[in-house]
Every structure is written in structure tokens, then in C-alpha cells.
Amino acid sequence: MSTGRLTIDLDAVVANWRALDDMTGCKTAAVVKADGYGLGAANVAKALFKAGVRQFFVAVAEEAIAIREELGAKPDISVFSGHMKGDTDLIRDLRLTPMLNSVEQLTHHFETLPGHPFGIQLDTGMNRLGMEAQEWAAVAELALSQNPTLVMSHLACADEPDHPMNPHQLENFRQMTDGIHVTRSLAATGGILLGPDYHFDLTRPGIGLYGGLPFEKAAATVELDLPVIQIRDLAEGEVVGYGNSWQAERPSRVATVSGGYADGIFRILSDKATLYHGDQPCKVIGRVSMDLLTVDVTDLTEAPTKLTLIGRQQTVDDLAGQAQTIGYEVLTQLGGRYNRKTFGK
């Protein structure tokens, strides 16, 4: 097989959810947006539902289709982007709960789907989504009279525990919501780790479920092995790849490996990334191309049939560091060509 093999461990996803849930005294939902952070939203949601999750969050309404098809009407599915024009039929038919982000969305929702469940998203300082304090003050009485299921906000700097923005947003959220009789939510993964003051009634872990920082104790959820297509011997001075960007300084063995930027292996990893044969590191040499990598395997004692990019030797966040990005991006860019093996719940 000439495609990479992506192994997804749903038991690890469930274990991570349980570990985060155990840190709180409130309900714990699960964020499964971006196709379950690249792992497959339907399978992830099914495993978490069996573990007890009853509320899921997606970014946009269309992402809920696969989850409803898998789990039916039982779980609540909330939509971070709220009620966008054109989403009305989908929100109604799939029984979704939009997190209304503006006065305009609130008005649109009440006009098009009167009596349909909704939540409210407030902006406590991130300036991304949600109603600001003055907007909320103007519509709070009306909105609360219609019994929203949830009032939430989102932390901008929760992955930096000592950042002053965290207590600032916490105080803003309290000022905007103290005294209301509605379920409140402020914390995603990073917020859970900040402690009980940030937990309120519901937490919404995302990246922590999938093995990424800032949840340092998370179990790894994916492994990625790439097959070796060809191995060739090079003399000193020969070059490799586009632009002749690597030149052998000694007699070398070079493996051509299936995988490239079309599979989510970023071009910035050219001449930087490390793959592994067991515990032995092998450097990527030359440019990452659309479908192929070239890897220096000179020091191996045997010809490899595959090399590992993500696994026990190198985590998603290790790879992200080499690419000057974050684990979220690595996971969500995993390509559609991989042969996926999912096991667990």
C-alpha cells in the first residue's frame, strides 16, 4: 500500500475526556468541530456518547449532519457560529442549538424559529464572537425571557495560565452573567486546567480530547506511519529533490516516502522534520513536495519499509514545534488520502 497509515485510538479520546471531566464538579461536553479535529467526528462522537457525553459543539451547522446520522436525536448539538442566514432549515431539521452571537442573530432566530432552543455567546474581551457588554445589556431581558439553554464565552489566553487576560475575562463574564438562572460555560481545555473558578456549570474540552497541549497529561490519540516507496544510494556530491536543495556530503542512502503537503505535512518541514525507524531518527532532506518526502536513512542497519512521523517517538505537538505552528493545525490538516484505522469504543 502506497498511502500512509493513520491509526486513531478512540479509547485514548475517551480516557482524555474522562480525565478532564474528573477535574471538574460540573457537566463536561465535547467539541467535535473540524471533523473531530481531523479524527472523524462521527466515530469520535459515537465513542464519547457511549462514555456519557450528551452535549457536543460544532463550529458550523453542516458539521452536525454526520453526528446526527450516527447518534440520532439524543445528544444536544450546539453551533458556535450561531444562526446564520441560510442555516434555518438545517438548525430546525437537525434540532441544533445555535449559540447566538449578535443582536442581529437573536432577532433572526426569534423571527424564523420562534420557540426553538438557542444559546447565547458573549464577548468578554477576545473580540472574535459574541455580544459585547452593551449589546447584551440591551437584549438580556428579552433573551432570558425566552429561556436560553446556555450562556457562554471563550477564553483567549487559557493556554497561558499566568496571563492577565484570564482573570480579566473571568471578571467580565461574572459581571455579565451573575444572577441569571441559565447554564453558564467559560472553559474549554485550557480553562479546565485553570481551576474551579473557570468551570461554572459546563465545560467544553476540545484539543485536550485529542491529545494536544495545553493538556500535558493527555494520552496520544494518533499514530502516522508513511510507507517507503523506493530507496536509492547516492554518491558524495549528488543532489536530492526540487531545486537541488540538499546535497550529499558523504555516500548516502535516501528513502522516498509517500506523504507530502497534500497530506498535511507542511512545506516548512523541508530539511527540518524527523521521522523514525523504531527509535532511530531519520531526517527529512530536501523539500517536502505534494506527495513525497525524501529521508536520509544512511545510518540504518536495515532498509525500512515504513517510517513513523507521529507516534510515541514524536507527538503531534513535537511536530507542530518543528513546523512553527500548534498541534491543532497538525491534527486538522491530516489528509484524506491516509488509510485510516480506527479502534476503540
Cell readout for 309 is 512521523
pLDDT digits (tens, 9 = 90+) for 239-259: 999 999 999 999 999 999 999
Three-state secondary-structure class, residue 299: coil
Q: How many CB atoms lie within 10 A of CB 308?
A: 21
Q: Which residue has the cell 505537538?
A: 317
The whole-number average pLDDT for the span 203-210 is: 98
Distance CA 229, CA 304 (A): 10
State if pTM tops 0.85: yes
- Quote the pLDDT of residue 1: 59
- Quote the pLDDT of residue 344: 82
The whole-number average pLDDT for the span 189-217 is: 97
Tell me the CA distances in angstroms from 252 to 175, 241, 276, 285, 308, one per residue in order.
Answer: 65, 14, 17, 11, 20
- Quote the pLDDT of residue 81: 98
Q: Which value, to the nearest 10 degrees, does the dihedral of the CA atoms of residues 133, 328, 214, 284 take?
A: -150
Q: What phi and psi values does residue 275 have, to the nearest 5 degrees?
A: -110, 165
pLDDT at 293 over 80: yes
Q: Residue 77: name the closest of 130, 86, 62, 27 by CA.
A: 62
> Is there a catalytic annotation at residue 341?
no
67 pLDDT band, cuts 50/70/90, is very high
Active-site position among 27, 33, 328, 338: 33
Three-state secondary-structure class, residue 100: strand
Proportion of the chain above pLDDT 70, given as a percent: 99
Active-site position among 37, 74, 210, 242: 242
Tell me the CA distances in angstroms from 235 to 47, 107, 299, 303, 311, one per residue in order.
Answer: 52, 71, 15, 18, 32
- Quote the pLDDT of residue 345: 64
The whole-number average pLDDT for the span 107-118 is: 97
Q: Taking CA 118 as the corner, what is the angle to CA 149 and CA 215, rounded to the nearest 5 degrees?
A: 65
pLDDT at 35 over 80: yes
> Is there a catalytic annotation at residue 261?
no
Q: What structural domains does the chain harbor?
A: 10-210 (3.20.20.10), 222-343 (2.40.37.10)
The whole-number average pLDDT for the span 74-80 is: 97
2 pLDDT band, cuts 50/70/90, is confident
- Quote the pLDDT of residue 315: 96
